[in-house]
């Protein structure tokens, strides 16, 4: 056991700054646990009191020495500073009057549940605050009211306010049930949204490069013919079907689009400018093309004769 005692940390010395009364309560809890863990509680009163005065710190020890501790009526010669129970009692009387009950109740009644704080953690925080409020028999009722008013979920608050004879335990149980249900609903909703996105993507299918382009350049299934019986794409007559059309797969020299000849091009007809001035046929143009073969070089030369009527012949 002595070997195990070396691994146990001793209580931290009492801090006399800040909330001294709260610091004293914390020190007492640590001291009681230390005494039991190290079996110091089984030692004599002299050893226990000496250990207590060692771990409480120099500042606290100076306060203890100046306190008026009455002697034991059954043993007037006994030193009260060698009795750990009398030391604890004397320091309780010294530090507890420093606690302001009004301020402690103010802190308790202003305590609201923090964002993301579990209901169990919130209740534990309230229990610690209410322990210094001196509510007496009203402790459970005040704690119940603070839970109802301090929780973040307004729907649960409304539900609790509708209940008659609401007890502290019932309020805590309802808050826990609601918290668990909300967690389950969020998990189900997230799972449903993930499944929906997967199915939606599968229905749409993955994008295939070139698919839109191929669709745009698709050739009509029906090869049209004009009212005169000639093909609308090559301006000639041929058996039905695009495979029999000589224009299929060719590019128009007028508009650059595929699958028709220039003589059947509708785009070229629409873009052809309208002549202004004299009526068509008033000016006649004749172009004669002659091919001359050079005997030496055997090259073909092209000559163009442009014959137009003179203005006076018009």
User: 197 exposed, middle or buried (CB, 10 Å; 0-12, 13-18, 19+)?
Assistant: exposed
- Mean of the per-residue pLDDT values of the chain: 79
Count how many domains the chain has: 3
Q: Is residue 89 part of a domain?
A: yes
Phi and psi for 251 in degrees, rounded to 5?
-110, 135
- Domain boundary at 98, 126, 151, which? 98
Q: Which of 42-56, 76-90, 96-110 has the highest mean pLDDT?
A: 42-56
Reply yes or no on whether the pLDDT at 155 is more than 80. Answer: yes
Residues 20 and 49 in one domain: yes
Q: Is residue 168 part of a domain?
A: yes
- Domain boundary at 48, 64, 98, which? 98
Structure tokens that stand for 139 in this block? 């402790």
Task: Please tell me the predicted confidence (pLDDT) of residue 100.
Answer: 87
Reply yes or no on whether the pLDDT at 286 is more than 70. Answer: no
Which residues, in sequence order, are bridge partners of residue 251?
A: 258
Reply yes or no on whether the pLDDT at 8 is more than 90. Answer: no
Please, which contacts does 112-120 make with residues 24 or more away whose CB atoms are closer than 8 Å?
112/150, 112/152, 113/150, 113/151, 113/152, 115/152, 118/179, 119/151, 119/172, 119/175, 119/176, 119/179, 120/176
- Domain boundary at 98, 129, 145, which? 98
Task: Please tell me the predicted confidence (pLDDT) of residue 126.
Answer: 96
CB atoms within 10 A of CB 234: 20
Task: Please tell me the predicted confidence (pLDDT) of residue 219.
Answer: 45
* % residues pLDDT > 70 (the chain): 71
Q: Is residue 216 part of a domain?
A: no
Q: Is residue 65 part of a domain?
A: yes
pLDDT tier for residue 1 given thresholds of 50, 70 and 90: very low
Residues 9 and 63 in one domain: yes
**Domain coverage including residue 58:** 2-98
Give residue-wise pLDDT tens across range 185-240.
988 888 876 665 555 555 555 555 555 554 444 444 455 555 556 888 888 888 88
- Residues 105 and 142: their CA atoms lie apart, in Å, by 10
- Residues 82 and 43: their CA atoms lie apart, in Å, by 13
Give residue-wise pLDDT tens across range 85-103.
999 999 999 988 777 899 9
Task: Please tell me the predicted confidence (pLDDT) of residue 289.
Answer: 47
Residues 171 and 115 in one domain: yes
Give residue-wise pLDDT tens across range 116-127.
999 999 999 999
Reply yes or no on whether the pLDDT at 7 is more than 60. Answer: yes
Residues 59 and 71 in one domain: yes
Task: Please tell me the predicted confidence (pLDDT) of residue 251.
Answer: 87
Q: Is residue 197 part of a domain?
A: no
Task: Please tell me the predicted confidence (pLDDT) of residue 119.
Answer: 95
């Amino acid at each position: 056991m002595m070997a195990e005692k070396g691994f146990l940390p001793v209580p931290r010395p009492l801090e006399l700054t800040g909330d001294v009364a709260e610091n004293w309560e914390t020190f007492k809890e640590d001291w009681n646990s230390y005494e039991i863990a190290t079996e110091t509680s089984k030692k004599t009163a002299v050893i226990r009191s000496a250990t207590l005065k060692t771990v409480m710190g120099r500042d606290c020890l100076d306060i203890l020495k100046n306190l008026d501790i009455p002697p034991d009526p059954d043993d007037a010669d006994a030193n009260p500073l060698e009795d750990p129970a009398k030391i604890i009692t004397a320091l309780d009387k010294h530090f507890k009057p420093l606690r302001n009950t009004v301020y402690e109740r103010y802190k308790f009644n202003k305590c609201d549940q923090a964002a993301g704080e579990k209901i169990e953690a919130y209740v534990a925080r309230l229990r610690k605050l209410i322990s210094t409020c001196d509510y007496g028999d009203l402790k459970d009722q005040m704690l119940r009211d603070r839970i109802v008013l301090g929780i973040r979920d307004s729907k649960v608050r409304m539900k609790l306010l509708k209940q008659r004879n609401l007890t502290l335990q019932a309020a805590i149980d309802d808050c826990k049930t609601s918290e668990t249900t909300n967690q389950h609903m969020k998990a189900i909703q997230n799972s449903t949204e993930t499944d929906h996105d997967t199915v939606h993507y599968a229905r749409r299918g993955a994008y295939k490069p070139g698919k839109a382009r191929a669709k745009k350049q698709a050739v009509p299934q029906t090869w049209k013919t004009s009212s005169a019986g000639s093909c609308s794409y090559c301006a000639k007559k041929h058996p039905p079907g695009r495979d029999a059309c000589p224009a299929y797969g060719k590019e128009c020299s007028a508009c650059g689009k595929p699958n028709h000849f220039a003589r059947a091009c509708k785009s070229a007809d629409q873009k052809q400018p309208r002549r202004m001035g004299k009526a068509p046929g008033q000016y006649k143009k004749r172009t004669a093309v002659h091919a001359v073969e050079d005997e030496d070089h055997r090259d073909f030369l092209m000559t163009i004769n442009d014959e137009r009527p003179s203005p006076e012949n018009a």
